[in-house]
Amino acid sequence: MKILMINGTMRKGSTYQVGKLAIEEIMQEGDQLTELFLPKDMPEFCRGCAACIRESETRCLDYLMYMKRFTRMIDEADLLIFTSPVYVMHVSGAMKALLDHYGYRCMIHRPEASMFGKQAICIVTAAGGGIRSALKDIKDSLLYWGVARIYTLGVKVGTSG
Ligand SMILES: Cc1cc2nc3c(=O)[nH]c(=O)nc-3n(C[C@H](O)[C@H](O)[C@H](O)COP(=O)(O)O)c2cc1C
């Protein structure tokens, strides 16, 4: 099984550690894990041109530099693991910027068929509030992409410095 971990922070703090613990529980011999970190692996904001929706995702100004590679990795994975710390009751801005780039993949636009056979886990950590809304931020996108099974895990942690 190919596992792709998409981290909404570059810190290897609580969120990353919780994600890795979950992966340790799941991974079996022969599984392959790839890790991506935001914003490093996709540092751009959506410009709102909507060329991806109206024409093709290859028209996105971020396609050649970042999205082509990112999308290939997502499409090849069997299990997607999204992790994000809660920032002001929601996912990190870096995670939101990535999800925005996949607006074209929503059911009402151009869903990608391989999503219907994938599973995903959404993991967020917070010091107090916002776990539910941040999990929803990720889950909403994955639902609209058509991911077959989506699991969520929210963990309260101490503030990390
Ligand atoms: C800018 C910022 C905003 C935050 N907003 C919230 C929040 O709304 N609710 C909350 O419970 N924790 C909030 N936190 C705390 C983090 O969610 C929490 O410490 C998280 O586990 C940090 O993950 P990390 O160790 O992977 O960086 C915030 C932290 C930062 C840096």
pLDDT of 161: 54
pLDDT digits (tens, 9 = 90+) for 68-109: 999 999 999 999 999 999 999 999 999 999 999 999 999 999
Ranges of each domain in the chain: 2-156
User: Whose CA is closest to atom 16 on ligand 1?
Assistant: 126
CATH superfamily of 2-156: Flavodoxin domain (3.40.50.360)
Q: Which of 20, 86, 89 to probe ligand 1 with, by most ligand atoms within 8 A of CB? A: 86
CB 42 within 8 A of CB 72: no
Phi/psi-derived region of residue 153, left when phi > 0, alpha when psi is between -120 and 50, beta in every other case = beta
pLDDT digits (tens, 9 = 90+) for 99-119: 999 999 999 999 999 999 999
Q: How far apart are CA 63 and CA 57, in angstroms?
A: 7
pLDDT digits (tens, 9 = 90+) for 115-126: 999 999 999 999
pLDDT of 160: 55
pLDDT of 101: 98
Please list, in sequence order, all residues whose beta carbon lies within 8 angstroms of the beta carbon of residue 73, skipping any fewer than 6 positions away. Answer: 4, 34, 36
Check if 12 has its Cβ closer than 6 Å to any atom of ligand 1. Answer: no
pLDDT > 80? residue 159: no
Q: Which of 9, 37, 88 to probe ligand 1 with, by most ligand atoms within 8 A of CB? A: 88
pLDDT digits (tens, 9 = 90+) for 17-59: 999 999 999 999 999 999 999 999 999 999 999 999 999 999 9
Count of other CB atoms within 10 angstroms of residue 75: 13
